Chains A and B, each alone.
Chain A
């Protein structure tokens, strides 16, 4: 993988690494991709992808209002100002 391509990938991944970590991760990525490449040898032309290991029927629940009385406890996990979760500017 070209250095510029790897840098672009890190940007997409929102990973800001120092040089040492970046070099190690690039080496690992190349080693692992080489390992992954072996699956190209398998003949799979007449097979459907198995998105799940068993066939599942998608199930939905009824669209009805249920009482949720744990909002305050849920919000204890975050920094809030009045009823707003604080976060960075978008």
Chain B
């Protein structure tokens, strides 16, 4: 049974929400999943919202000092829809600053992995994945640009769903990269996500890029592994993935292998496009309209603007510099325009495969690293870790990360990619997987 229906049927003690919040605050002191926990929740299924998505009256910082103190007076469309359906916002979840990261460490207090607190929770929706992993009844609204839902869901042993680009309104989302950002969900089952996804789609007059959701519900029994991605896996992950593939084969799925020579270019193409877009989005933070505010108005505009931008973290500054450079007239065609054409090439090639199959891979090529190990990665090592999650994100394909195994006590994840608008089909795949694969959790806060 879905936990949404289970929760609504169960009789809850009068002090249920008070106890839930107290227990959550106690554990949050160690795990840093939430940037803010609400004390106003006394009914409804508890949801959390990533801190780059606006909730009326709650701080929306995107885990950046630049937005400290900013309280939007409105709800993002997705939040409004779920509030209208009876859900209650329990808090705002931690993340990499503005979504810039794969490990959740580009922020003041990184969220910690519930399976091993010395390890990363994954990013950028780190807090969202931890929240879903530690609470018995919970659904986290998250956001993905290049893998920010699948990566943390994989490391924290929960289900992460990234929809087709554009089918959920992004009104109220603090942008990272407009042609890549997608609002999605993290929870303990595909069924919970499926129920909430259906409530969240639909055109929105406040988002001119919001697409009409025209579901393609195809039952596919062929799963394709891309050889060039399989070769990139860490040894332990490869063995674990092979076990999952054998399990799927035993369930009747046909397994195929395909060469996609272009797939290796997805990561650089993604980072070029995302940095170009991020560098323009970050230009709106001027240090006097909201969030970080300087008070020395005697400075000229350029000095004032430069001084306010000092509060950005290291990765944000990197994106500003590189994004500004690759958009400049002399190299624009070499980097930015070329990357957009590479995106077209990869979309076309993957669509050929997705015509009759789903694409399957592990969600991450490694187990969750220790926080100190992740901090030691160079930027290129960091970006390369997204090799499996970037192809669907760059191309706007829906994807789901399902817990698929446990290695040395840590969860691993399996990613299923569908064609555009096949969101419900991959969620059905997840439900099928969950029929005989039992997920494990370290905490069950809020159990009734």
Residues of B within 8 A of A74 (CB): 73
**Interface set, chain A 3-48, CB cutoff 8 A to B:** 9-10, 12-17, 21, 25, 28-29, 31-33, 35-36, 38-40, 42, 44, 47-48
> With a CB–CB cut-off of 8 A, which chain A residues contact B293?
78-79
Chain A min CB distance to B351 (Å):
11
A65 in the interface (beta carbon within 8 A):
no
Q: Helix, strand, loop or mixed for chain B's interface?
A: helix
Known: A78-B288, A89-B300. A16 touches B379 (CB 8 A): no
B45 to chain A, nearest CB (A): 27
Give the Cβ gap from A68 to chain B, nearest Cβ, in Å.
Answer: 10
C-alpha gap A59/B166 in the complex (Å) = 13
State the main secondary structure of chain A at its contact with B. Answer: loop
Other-chain residue from A25, A42, A54, A61 in contact with B420 (beta carbon distance below 8 A): A54
Q: Which residues of A are found within 8 Å of B317, using beta-carbon distances?
A: 15, 17, 21, 25
Residue of A nearest to B295 (CB): A79
* B209 touching A56, Cβ below 8 Å: yes
Q: Once the chains bind, are A48 and B344 in contact (CB under 8 Å)?
A: yes
State the CA gap A78–B13 with chains docked (Å). 42
Fill in one digit per residue for A78-90: 1 if any B CB lies within 8 Å of its CB, else 0: 1100000111111
- B residues within 8 A CB of A85? 288-289
Q: Interface extent on A, as a size class?
A: 35 or more
Interface size class of B (residues with CB under 8 A): 35 or more
B166 close to A42 (CB less than 8 A):
no
B2 interface contact, C-beta 8 A: no
Q: How far is the CA of A13 from the CA of B309 in the complex (A)?
A: 9
- Asked if residues B343 and A77 are in contact (CB atoms below 8 Å), the reply is no
Least Cβ distance of A41 to chain B in Å? 8
| A88 and B288 contact, Cβ closer than 8 Å, known pairs A15-B306, A40-B334, A52-B396 | yes
* A77 neighbours in B (Cβ, 8 Å): 69-71, 289-291
Tell me if A15 and B73 are in contact (CB < 8 A). no
List 14 contacting pairs A-B, 8 Å CB cutoff, sorted by A.
A10-B321, A31-B380, A38-B264, A38-B265, A39-B342, A42-B265, A47-B345, A49-B341, A49-B344, A50-B341, A50-B343, A77-B69, A87-B286, A87-B297
